[in-house]
Amino acid sequence: MNNIKLDELLKKVEKPARYIGGELNSVMKDKTQVHVRFAFAFPDVYEVGMSHLGMHIIYYLLNQDKDIWCERVFAPWTDMEDELKYHDVDLFTLESNDSLKEFDFIGFTLQYEMSYTNILNMMSLAGIPVESKHRDDSFPLIVAGGPCAFNPEPLHEFVDIFFIGESEDLLPEVMEIYKQHKNSGEGKYSFFKKISHIEGIYIPSFYDVVYKDDNTIKERVKLYDKAPDIIKKRIVKNLDQAYFPEKIIVPFIETVHDRVVLELFRGCTRGCRFCQAGMIYRPIRERSVETLLKQADLLIDSTGHEEISLSSLSTGDYSKLIELAQALLDKYEERRIGLSLPSLRLDSITFELIKRVQKVRKSGLTFAPEAGTQRMRDVINKNISEEEIIDSVKTAFALGWSNIKLYFMVGLPGETIEDIYGIKDIAYKVKDEFFKRDKNSIKGNLNVSVSVACFVPKPFTPFQWEKQNTVAEFSNKTSILKKELKDKKISYSYHDPKLSVIEGAFALGDRRMSKVLKKAWQMGCTFDGWGDKFKYDVWMKAFEAADVSLGYYTERNKAFTEVLPWDFINCGVNKEFLIKEKELSLSRITTEDCRISCTGCGVNVELVGGPCFENHI
């Protein structure tokens, strides 16, 4: 598209800067000089997508190859969608402004299920048929990866190639093969055959699924005899030496997270039973302090960002956190670069650390008890006691904090009404701690914000066989809390139960969910994650039109013997471990952090080829 035409579109939309590109550190190449064109597609708006570290990594990873030009595209907001349609312009990338149609690959990242309608919409806005089988060799290959790819089946009709696991090594491997393939004149299925054996690659069109009369899965049938039976996730063995960009793009406009993000480690050893990330990102792998300091240095210098955030699943578990935080502060304190710390167990050392951090920039404090009672926390294996929460809050108040965020879930397996009232009790106890103190030491205006999510059972967790609460059950619980948490000092927010059950159906869904997805998109659903854009009634009609039952996925406890839609993926954690954990949860027996001693999830055998920690046997 030329500049004059683009200008015409940009003049009409509310936030034109979302679409202009040209940011510092974005990459321009001559398209006639590259061999492969890759469009990294984030199925949400610019401000959300640009906050995602993974996008920056992939962008630079691909662009360091002079034969590849990786560009970016985000879901256009509805005003831009209208303009594209009105002016008959294809959805374009931010760098070259070329139509998505002109690319070899469009790579979607699957961060949350409720962005799926945007994936279909983005393809369609570029004139690309959404179904894989309707795309001939003239169209780009649609590839996808990210956490939701661990249950890829609801997208099997639309996506050509899934990347399961971490892409730092996998993506360049596939690109090398594609470079050879591109000049061969062979079609896309021949390319699929060339890569289907690579660890981490899943080609959905090489398989068919046969169902039983009761709708459960009977078996998977291979349509290409050399396709693997089990798809094993790919990991980066040595995270410390893994690819990391020296620069990241600096957006012109404010994004959700405008800061340098350091990923201290991958994986988690806590073993919370509801948490998918805690399972699928195993084994735990840390970066060294030295590497992290180097990354911080490069990124701060190349961006001018004013904040560094330390990000990982349970950041406080990083083995050298104090050493790292002190080093970062020594270096950046004077330059007024803020550091956001995870919640820490407080002692004299961390106390000093937090005081130093607070000098540069004050931020709120977050705790995630997840459940309201000790009994419920034992069931989900969230090993934090009320005493620990209250103690931390006390110290936080003493340090001058007055903004506390508390995260909970409702609809957990085996939950009773006491567990709901337990959430209220914790909120009020936190409030009481604030005012219990000596009058003179009370500073600031207290705000306890309670945020409640609706539990969604996820694949590869001990709760993958559980049914989800219905909309009515969820709503009952969220409205009890709404009544109980009426207090000037407490603010309360909760996730929409209606959205959570649709999310549940995609998280737990099989191939038949792709029909529902297509219907919902055809009926006008996009940006479902954006509150006011979410149309529950239309989704219900889409289920009906596709002749698929929502309840089949979300309102049914499954037997351990049932074939689950994602069973063909090996994430390293084995089923026996998940069954054992599920049974322990029924007896409210907790499982300890596997840093202390290995609890036998299978990752060491499947992926590490030895113990996960040096001191383990």
Partner 1 sequence: MKIIFKYTKLGKLKYISHLDTLRLLQRALRRTGLPAKYSEGFNPHPKLSIAFPLSLGIESIGEMAEVELAIRVERDVFVNKMNDSLPEGLQIISASEFKGNKPLPAQIVSQEYRLNVCFKSNQDLEQALKIADAILACDYNIIRVKEKKNKVTKKEINIVEYLTLMQIEAQSDLTFSIDFKVAITETGSLKIEEIRDFVSTYFQNIDHLTAIRTNLNFVDKSV
Residues that bind partner 1 (CB under 8 A): 10-11, 16-17, 20-24, 250, 252-254, 301-306, 335-336, 360-362
Q: How far is the CB of 600 from ligand SF4 (least distance, A)?
A: 6
301, interface contact from ligand SF4, partner 1, none, CB < 5-8 Å by kind: partner 1
Backbone angles phi, psi at 245, to 5 degrees: -70, 150
Q: Quick check: 461 binds ligand SF4 (CB under 6 A)?
A: no
Give the pair of three-digit tokens for residue 206.
């090489």
Q: Which residue has the tokens 């407080």?
A: 346
282, interface contact from ligand SF4, partner 1, none, CB < 5-8 Å by kind: ligand SF4
Q: How far is the CB of 364 from partner 1 (least distance, A)?
A: 12
The dihedral over CA atoms of 332, 333, 339, 344, expressed in degrees to the nearest 10, equals 120
Interface pattern 231-270 for ligand SF4 (x via CB under 6 A) = --------------------------------------x-
Q: At what angle do helices 513-522 and 536-546 cross, to 10 degrees?
A: 130
Other Cβ atoms closer than 10 A to 605: 12
444, interface contact from partner 1, ligand SF4, none, CB < 5-8 Å by kind: none
Nearest residue (CB) to partner 1, 362 versus 595: 362
SS3 content of the chain, % helix, strand, coil (to 5): 40, 15, 45
Q: Quick check: 594 binds ligand SF4 (CB under 6 A)?
A: yes
Helix (H, G, I), strand (E, B) or coil at 563: coil
Q: At what angle do helices 3-10 and 78-86 cross, to 10 degrees?
A: 130
Q: At what angle do helices 536-546 and 497-507 cross, to 10 degrees?
A: 30
Nearest residue (CB) to ligand SF4, 324 versus 601: 601
336, interface contact from ligand SF4, partner 1, none, CB < 5-8 Å by kind: partner 1
Please answer whether residues 384 and 338 qualify as being in contact, where contact means their C-beta atoms are separated by less than 8 angstroms.
no
Other Cβ atoms closer than 10 A to 274: 23
461, interface contact from partner 1, ligand SF4, none, CB < 5-8 Å by kind: none
Nearest residue (CB) to partner 1, 11 versus 483: 11
The amino acid occupying position 546 is A
79, interface contact from ligand SF4, partner 1, none, CB < 5-8 Å by kind: none
Q: How far is the CB of 243 from partner 1 (least distance, A)?
A: 24
Q: Which residue has the tokens 């903004």?
A: 403
Give the pair of three-digit tokens for residue 486.
């009426």
Beta bridge partners of 219: 210
Q: Quick check: 505 binds ligand SF4 (CB under 6 A)?
A: no
Please answer whether residues 145 and 137 qualify as being in contact, where contact means their C-beta atoms are separated by less than 8 angstroms.
no
Nearest residue (CB) to ligand SF4, 353 versus 601: 601
H-type helices in 443-562, by residue range? 471-484, 497-507, 513-522, 536-546, 550-554
Binding segment toward ligand SF4, per CB under 6 A, in 39-47, 163-171, 451-459, 592-600: 592-600
Nearest residue (CB) to partner 1, 358 versus 451: 358
The DSSP symbol for 22 reads: -
Size of the site for ligand SF4 (CB under 6 A): 11
Please answer whether residues 303 and 24 qualify as being in contact, where contact means their C-beta atoms are separated by less than 8 angstroms.
yes
Residues 6+ apart with CB under 8 A from 273: 379, 380, 381, 461, 462, 463, 581, 582, 585
254, interface contact from ligand SF4, partner 1, none, CB < 5-8 Å by kind: partner 1
Q: How far is the CB of 317 from ligand SF4 (least distance, A)?
A: 12
Q: Quick check: 282 binds ligand SF4 (CB under 6 A)?
A: yes
Beta bridge partners of 449: 405, 491
Interface residue with ligand SF4 among 251, 278, 283, 338 (CB under 6 A) is: 283
41, interface contact from ligand SF4, partner 1, none, CB < 5-8 Å by kind: none
252, interface contact from ligand SF4, partner 1, none, CB < 5-8 Å by kind: partner 1
Binding segment toward ligand SF4, per CB under 6 A, in 124-132, 481-489, 578-586, 596-604: 596-604
Query: Rule CB under 6 A: which residues touch ligand SF4?
Result: 269, 282-283, 594, 598-601, 603-604, 612
